[in-house]
Chains A and B, each alone.
Chain A
């Protein structure tokens, strides 16, 4: 059945009837475009559903810490701390309140914090068994004597007037045991408090923490935020500078660098495509070949938007790039029809078979992505499959009517038609030798290829931001890169209960001193009641001993017998539960807001810890059996994402490989042909993996998707060249592959000039893969099977 030949011949007589509906369809699609909703969140490229990575990412997004703006002020050596503090206040006042909310530059006047006076009263509900043990150890004549001497010393000092009642109430100095609980609640490891402000240990840096209503993914909002900050920072006195650290400057930097990159890349690829057109095509009619990808992309966008109401910007951008592949279909049809004006229908019929199979294999490769855990990749699959179908239809039915008559140049054609290896037989072995050596070299390099799921690697980090991050870490500890443990509960008490369990387990690994936790200061109510019981039992036994020791030691230092009567009252007074209202009354509301938050109907209590891989590995196992507890760390998250990518990629390669192989077997029905057809794709992938391994370029989310392009194109090249070797006609496949390879290189390989890591990684992947796939198709396949006429 010569379907395409018949259609071509019939439509050639009624061209208008074909072109009019096509133009109408494209016009309607164009009119639909403004209704597209395109989002720009990276979430589309992260696993969704119930995967661990998706849950972790969701939690990370919701933490109060992740949304905090951190403003660091840096002072020169000549600037005094007082001036730095004044500049911090000035900057805070100059930041617009609609963009910068809940500004916090320190705990304020510590002297006014009721917390320091009242916390000791809650020792009964805060004291752990270890604390009681410590107290028991202090109840010896020597220790009490020493404490009594200290009490006397304090009374003699000027501050004795203020301390007298405290000494009477707490002669054994138990209050510091309660105050110590605060030490675990400091999220700024290197902080000092001076004049009520956060000051770094070297006294050269201060901090302002703030919230903002601007979403981290909102590039326009980020621009306003950064501009407002820079305007306020520009008014700082000489010798003091400020930097803003949050997701927003990164969003802005990435948006701007992508814009700049696209300009540069489009210029390079535009010049390249023009040069290719002038060298290889040089005809007005050939422009229709270049229009084919745009038409396919337009229709694919509309169809995908019916499927997904909101499209990911990444999907659209990347899909558009991938659909550049469809130009190859047009090139094959063009070169096949341009060879001669004789038997054009037969030529179209001949080229249709490899074109359909090539398209089908690419389509299957993309369709495999429908099973991906990444929603963006699933969108991409729908987008690409639709685009390829449309491109095939346009290439086989519409484009042949637009190509125009062939330009016949017999002398040139003769030269082209005489196969290379017929002209230079020795070259055949040279080509095979170089190819084999190169493949062995790449196979070795591929062993070193690493997959990296770290999202930060996909972002552009301007040097100024990187420096500010380093300074922040140097002055304040790694406050922005810590791992988090989430303890969830249907209500706050259950969340606190789990948080306590986390705290106890951290204790088993002697890690309590390295973490920031609410557990010591805010135990669950059940535990508070339990501790209070222990406290009363403890003092029921120890109080007579303590009283006797106090009277004896007190007498030695001149204290009267009833000097410490308030102590008994302190021991036996029920302080009541230590709850949120009490903690907030002590001015800890803002701080607590960083550790306790509501996630839907659930409460989450956070613990922060250093994000060290060996530590996370140990704790990952420790918390595995603890329901409602999730450990999330950037490094851990990166590893999980790497595993998800690797899993997705392996499954993709395996499924696509099997399906493509089946299609090739159906097409060629000969093992040798099938092997020949897969040579370009295997060579392209191996070359890409090998050189990435040798160059130390890691595989990331974007490389994975870019690999599909190599697979799709590589298989197409293989099918065309293998078909070409079996067919009597000269369909210009070698030339079409060469031109399509070059268009791919100038179109996508040009991305290697991009500064954005994600764009660069696409560029390097395509560059390497196509650089190997094209020569393999046009040289190695003919070298294995020289065409005979």
Chain B
């Protein structure tokens, strides 16, 4: 009797789990469709951000602040204001990066600098909320629907070698990403919080130009 009861309970749990998974998958597809529709209307983004890095090799948490700008289709600015003024701008395939400490400005091309190419591709995908591209590279899980939170696990073996997963938090209106948490295999993590986000504001060309040294 006990055996029959246990089997029954096991079957019930299995059915419930499967049902929950199917519901989640269906929810994810619906949610992503909604996000695509909303985020597809984003032409420009401008925001400040704070970055917290918890790295094993650093004695303390690394705190930094900066600003981020995006203009459709392929213009980016990523700039740290503190503790070291540094960053890069990208205009299509070409860009410049700088380091305020060494006062060095360097041109780069995403074709010749594969790492910068990968970073630019990632940032552009997030800014555009290019879910098709992201789904090709990551396995997505819906963690929470309101506020929308996704968990992404890399599909690419190379990326999976050092990144365990990403957690993405969307703004309430789902038009942009509000928070990103990147968890490395080593346990190190980085948290990015975007604040004062302006969507579809006017962004002049000099936003996407490197500072003069």
- B62 neighbours in A (Cβ, 8 Å): 155-156, 558
Whether, in the assembled complex, B112 has its beta carbon less than 8 Å from a beta carbon of chain A, the answer is yes
- B53 neighbours in A (Cβ, 8 Å): 155-156, 160
Contact present for A152 and B111 (CB under 8 Å): no
Q: How far is the CA of A560 from the CA of B188 in the complex (A)?
A: 14
Q: How far is the CA of A328 from the CA of B90 in the complex (A)?
A: 81
User: Which single residue of chain A is at the shortest CB-CB distance from B63?
Assistant: A156
Whether, in the assembled complex, B123 has its beta carbon less than 8 Å from a beta carbon of chain A, the answer is yes
Contact present for A116 and B114 (CB under 8 Å): yes
Contact present for B115 and A163 (CB under 8 Å): yes
Whether, in the assembled complex, B51 has its beta carbon less than 8 Å from a beta carbon of chain A, the answer is yes
Determine chain B's interface SS by DSSP, over half rule: mixed
Whether, in the assembled complex, B47 has its beta carbon less than 8 Å from a beta carbon of chain A, the answer is no
| CB within 8 Å of B: which A527-578 residues | 555, 558-560, 563
Please report the total number of B residues contacting A with Cβ < 8 Å: 38
Contact present for B114 and A158 (CB under 8 Å): no
With A149-B84, A150-B101 already in contact, the answer to whether A155 and B111 are too (CB < 8 A) is: no
- A159 neighbours in B (Cβ, 8 Å): 115-116, 118-119
A438 CB to nearest chain B CB (Å): 67
- B102 neighbours in A (Cβ, 8 Å): 146, 149-150
| CB within 8 Å of A: which B49-73 residues | 51, 53, 55-60, 62, 64
With A155-B62, A157-B80, A194-B93 already in contact, the answer to whether A563 and B57 are too (CB < 8 A) is: yes
Determine chain A's interface SS by DSSP, over half rule: helix
Q: How far is the CA of A165 from the CA of B188 in the complex (A)?
A: 12
- B162 neighbours in A (Cβ, 8 Å): 161-162, 164-165
- A81 neighbours in B (Cβ, 8 Å): 93
Please report the total number of A residues contacting B with Cβ < 8 Å: 34
B96 CB to nearest chain A CB (Å): 13
Kindly identify which residue among B59, B93, B101, B114 contacts A559, using a CB–CB cutoff of 8 Å: B59
Whether, in the assembled complex, A111 has its beta carbon less than 8 Å from a beta carbon of chain B, the answer is yes
Whether, in the assembled complex, B194 has its beta carbon less than 8 Å from a beta carbon of chain A, the answer is no
Contact present for A155 and B55 (CB under 8 Å): yes
- A150 neighbours in B (Cβ, 8 Å): 99, 101-102
Kindly identify which residue among A160, A161, A165 contacts B163, using a CB–CB cutoff of 8 Å: A161
Contact present for B99 and A196 (CB under 8 Å): no
- B51 neighbours in A (Cβ, 8 Å): 156
B126 CB to nearest chain A CB (Å): 10
Whether, in the assembled complex, A448 has its beta carbon less than 8 Å from a beta carbon of chain B, the answer is no
Q: How far is the CA of A654 from the CA of B41 in the complex (A)?
A: 90
- A149 neighbours in B (Cβ, 8 Å): 84, 101-102
Provide the A100-143 mask, 1 if CB < 8 A to any CB of B, else 0.
00000000011111001000000000000000000000000000
B71 CB to nearest chain A CB (Å): 18
B161 CB to nearest chain A CB (Å): 10
Whether, in the assembled complex, A168 has its beta carbon less than 8 Å from a beta carbon of chain B, the answer is yes
Contact present for A161 and B59 (CB under 8 Å): no
| CB within 8 Å of B: which A18-56 residues | none
Q: How far is the CA of A81 from the CA of B111 in the complex (A)?
A: 12
Kindly identify which residue among B80, B114, B115 contacts A156, using a CB–CB cutoff of 8 Å: B80
- B89 neighbours in A (Cβ, 8 Å): none
Contact present for B93 and A168 (CB under 8 Å): no
Whether, in the assembled complex, A356 has its beta carbon less than 8 Å from a beta carbon of chain B, the answer is no
Provide the B123-134 mask, 1 if CB < 8 A to any CB of A, else 0.
100000000000
Contact present for B122 and A158 (CB under 8 Å): yes
Whether, in the assembled complex, A600 has its beta carbon less than 8 Å from a beta carbon of chain B, the answer is no
Q: How far is the CA of A161 from the CA of B118 in the complex (A)?
A: 12
Q: How far is the CA of A771 from the CA of B73 in the complex (A)?
A: 75
Q: How far is the CA of A160 from the CA of B122 in the complex (A)?
A: 14
- A168 neighbours in B (Cβ, 8 Å): 57
Q: How far is the CA of A465 from the CA of B99 in the complex (A)?
A: 48
Whether, in the assembled complex, A192 has its beta carbon less than 8 Å from a beta carbon of chain B, the answer is yes
Whether, in the assembled complex, A193 has its beta carbon less than 8 Å from a beta carbon of chain B, the answer is yes
User: Which single residue of chain B is at the shortest CB-CB distance from A116?
Assistant: B114
Q: How far is the CA of A155 from the CA of B188 in the complex (A)?
A: 12
Whether, in the assembled complex, B179 has its beta carbon less than 8 Å from a beta carbon of chain A, the answer is no
- B80 neighbours in A (Cβ, 8 Å): 153, 156-157
Provide the A271-308 mask, 1 if CB < 8 A to any CB of B, else 0.
00000000000000000000000000000000000000
- B78 neighbours in A (Cβ, 8 Å): 157-158
Whether, in the assembled complex, B184 has its beta carbon less than 8 Å from a beta carbon of chain A, the answer is yes
Q: How far is the CA of A113 from the CA of B118 in the complex (A)?
A: 14
- A192 neighbours in B (Cβ, 8 Å): 109, 111-112
B155 CB to nearest chain A CB (Å): 16
Whether, in the assembled complex, B42 has its beta carbon less than 8 Å from a beta carbon of chain A, the answer is no
A493 CB to nearest chain B CB (Å): 33
- A655 neighbours in B (Cβ, 8 Å): none
Kindly identify which residue among A110, A153, A164, A196 contacts B188, using a CB–CB cutoff of 8 Å: A164
Whether, in the assembled complex, A735 has its beta carbon less than 8 Å from a beta carbon of chain B, the answer is no
User: Which single residue of chain A is at the shortest CB-CB distance from B85?
Assistant: A153
Q: How far is the CA of A196 from the CA of B109 in the complex (A)?
A: 12
Contact present for B57 and A156 (CB under 8 Å): no
Q: How far is the CA of A152 from the CA of B100 in the complex (A)?
A: 12
Whether, in the assembled complex, B95 has its beta carbon less than 8 Å from a beta carbon of chain A, the answer is no
Q: How far is the CA of A161 from the CA of B184 in the complex (A)?
A: 8
B183 CB to nearest chain A CB (Å): 10
User: Which single residue of chain A is at the shortest CB-CB distance from B57?
Assistant: A563
A237 CB to nearest chain B CB (Å): 20
Q: How far is the CA of A163 from the CA of B57 in the complex (A)?
A: 13
Provide the B99-110 mask, 1 if CB < 8 A to any CB of A, else 0.
101100000010
- A156 neighbours in B (Cβ, 8 Å): 51, 53, 62, 64, 80, 83-84, 86
Contact present for A153 and B86 (CB under 8 Å): yes
A727 CB to nearest chain B CB (Å): 87
A-B contact pairs, 11 of them (CB 8 A): A110-B111, A149-B102, A157-B119, A158-B78, A162-B118, A164-B162, A192-B111, A194-B111, A558-B62, A560-B57, A560-B58
Give me the interface of A with B, judged by CB distance under 8 Å. Answer: 81, 109-113, 116, 146, 149-150, 152-153, 155-165, 168, 192-196, 555, 558-560, 563
> 9 closest Cβ contacts across the A-B interface?
A111-B114, A563-B57, A194-B111, A153-B86, A153-B84, A158-B119, A149-B101, A110-B114, A159-B119
Extra 14 A-B pairs, beta carbons < 8 Å, given A157-B119, A558-B59, A563-B58: A81-B93, A109-B114, A110-B112, A111-B114, A112-B114, A146-B101, A146-B102, A155-B62, A158-B122, A159-B115, A160-B53, A161-B182, A162-B118, A555-B59
